[in-house]
Structures are given as C-alpha cells and as structure tokens.
Amino acid sequence: MQGVKSLACGENVSLNNASKDWRSALDRAVLGLFPPDLIVEIKAIACEFPAVHQVPLSRWSADEIAQYACQCGLVATISGSTVWRWLNEDAIRPWQHRSWIFPRDPQFALKAGQILDLYQRSWKGRSLKDDEFVLSADEKTSIQARNRRHVSYPTQPHSPMKIEHEYKRLGAWAYLAALDVHRMKLFGCCEPKSGIASFDRLVDQVMTQSPYKEARRVFWIVDNGSSHRGPKSAARLREKYKNLVLVHGPVHASWLNQIEIYFSILQRKALTPNDFSSLQALEERILNFQKHYEEITDPFEWKFTRKDLDHLMAKIERPCEEPFRLAA
C-alpha cells in the first residue's frame, strides 16, 4: 500500500498506532468501571490501621488493600496496581512508617524559640553584639576503639574496602565538644566518662581563652543531660564565669542542637569503619578530625526558623481528623 510506513520489525505503523489508541481507550473504559466513591473508600482504608478492620497486619500493602476491598464486598475484583495508582495520587503510602517522639515539654515552643533566635544572633528581642557568642555543646558517649582480628584491606580496583567482622574491644571514650555556631570553631576533649567534672573541663577549655573570656556574654546551648541539667548547673557555671549563659533546649529535641550535626559527620567520616590499634589512636583520630573539619568548612546553613517552629507546633497541636468518607 503506497504511503504506509513499516517499522523495522515489519509491523505496519498505522496498525501500531491504532493498537495504541485501542489499548488507551480500553484502559479508560476499565478506569470508568470504578466509581469515585470507591476510590475515596480505598484511600480511607489506607489511612487507617489494619487492626481497625480486624486484619492482623501492622501496615497495609497495595495488594493487601485490594484483597481486603474484595473480601469485604466493596468491589468484585481490583488489582494492587490500581490501588497503588490511586494512593500515589495523594502520596498515601501506608507501607511506610517512621519513628518520632511527641513533644512532652510544656515549654517546648519557648525553649526552642530561644535557640532559634540565638542562631539568628538575637536574644529576647535584641540583636547580639559583636562580642557575644553562641556555642552548641554536648557529649558523644561510649565511642569504642575496636581492634579488628585481621588486618584491614584498602579499596582496590573492582574491590571495596575489607574490614574483618570480629574485633577486640580496647576501651571507649566520651567525646565532649562545643561548636561556635557562627564562627565554625570547634573545641573538644576525650574523657574516660561523661559527667559534671568532664563537662566543666570542656567549659574551662573554651572560657579561659580569647575571645570568650573577654566576651560580653557567651551562650551555651545544651540538652538536659545529667552533667549540665537544670538551674543548678546554670548557677554553678555562672558563678565561675560571669559572662556564661546556659540555655537548655526542650526535652527530646536534640535536632535543635547544631553540635549533633557535627557528631553525625564525625561518625560517618572518621569513625566508620571502626578499626583502631589502641584507645590513644582513637583519641588522635577524633581530635585531628576536629581540627581538620573546622579548617575546611563554613558555619552550618541553619534554615529552620521561628516561622517553621510555629508551623510545626500548629501541626502537632491540631487534633487528628477522622478519615473522610462519602455519605451513603
């Protein structure tokens, strides 16, 4: 037939296009078999725990929702892929979960807001002066020195680094560190254990050197660990250093403390894999990485603001709504 093109496999182009049109029309017809209220019902089921429907599962999969919809008489037959497509329209993924801790500190917003203000160089509505500094401090406990029972092998072409699975424990350090959040200046020490005395030694390390010893105020952001918890710790440190202001974050809010970002970087870049010949070698790695990191990087770009905090608190305080269902 003149003017008709063929594909390399010999299939007629016009027939191929017609076949695509037919399949598309068939798909639309199949989709049309499902009324809108069924789609709403399926999405509502996905937004409930399986136990609500007496199904012995901890979470749904698309196939299991499809199976349940058939068993309870919502629909005669439906595929898991169709259910997945409907759920994907609203980013509903009942097969996923994440752990979280509900804020239980009655002063969560107040304490978190103070920290966020300090990150923006503000305190109680006033901008900080040039001779006022903000430090974020905490301890990373029980960092073990593990000596592998066989020598480790570095990366080779077509072969990753090889680290022996079995090891001997050579002891552990508690690493106490403080970060000047606006200058990316790090301070730290390795101690046999954490505690008030160990934390006070970190404070001494910082507050006895310039510019902190001459500063107007030095704000220390800390969590509620036993070595620096509560008003007693604030008073103890303030008695020793008149310009020190201890700022406690809310309970269960370590994500507000920037030193935790550094700890995660330290863990990934310097402590994993864990293979050290001695406890001293572990200490050298930690302190050398501390010096190396402050030389190669800039202050963290902190983007979470009071506006974000207000939005988060409103979201948390909003009561859970019952899944929406169409009226019968």
Q: What's the pLDDT tens digit per position in 278-328?
A: 999 999 999 999 999 999 999 999 999 999 999 888 887 775 544 434 333
Burial of residue 228 (CB within 10 Å: 0-12, 13-18, 19+) is buried
Range of weakest confidence among 1-15, 41-55, 262-276, 293-307: 1-15
Which pLDDT value is given to residue 200?
Answer: 97
- pLDDT tens across 164-177, in order? 999 999 999 999 99
Determine the Cα–Cα distance for residues 146 and 166; give it in Å rounded to an integer.
9
Taking the C-alpha atoms of residue 158 and residue 231, their distance in angstroms, rounded to an integer, is 57
User: Structure pTM?
Assistant: 0.77
Q: In what order do the strands lie in the sheet with 132-148?
A: 185-191, 167-180, 132-148, 217-222, 244-248
> Domains plus CATH for the chain?
16-89 (no CATH), 108-309 (3.30.420.10)
Is the Cβ–Cβ distance between 294 and 80 less than 8 Å?
no
Q: 117-156 pLDDT, tens per residue? A: 999 999 999 999 999 999 999 999 999 999 999 999 899 9
Which residues share a beta bridge with 3?
none
Identify which has the larger pLDDT, 182 or 7.
Answer: 182
Q: Is the pLDDT of residue 24 over 60?
A: no
Query: What mean pLDDT value characterizes the chain?
Result: 88
Phi then psi dihedrals of residue 8, to 5 deg: -60, -30
Distance between alpha carbon 175 and the CA centroid of its chain, in Å? Answer: 22
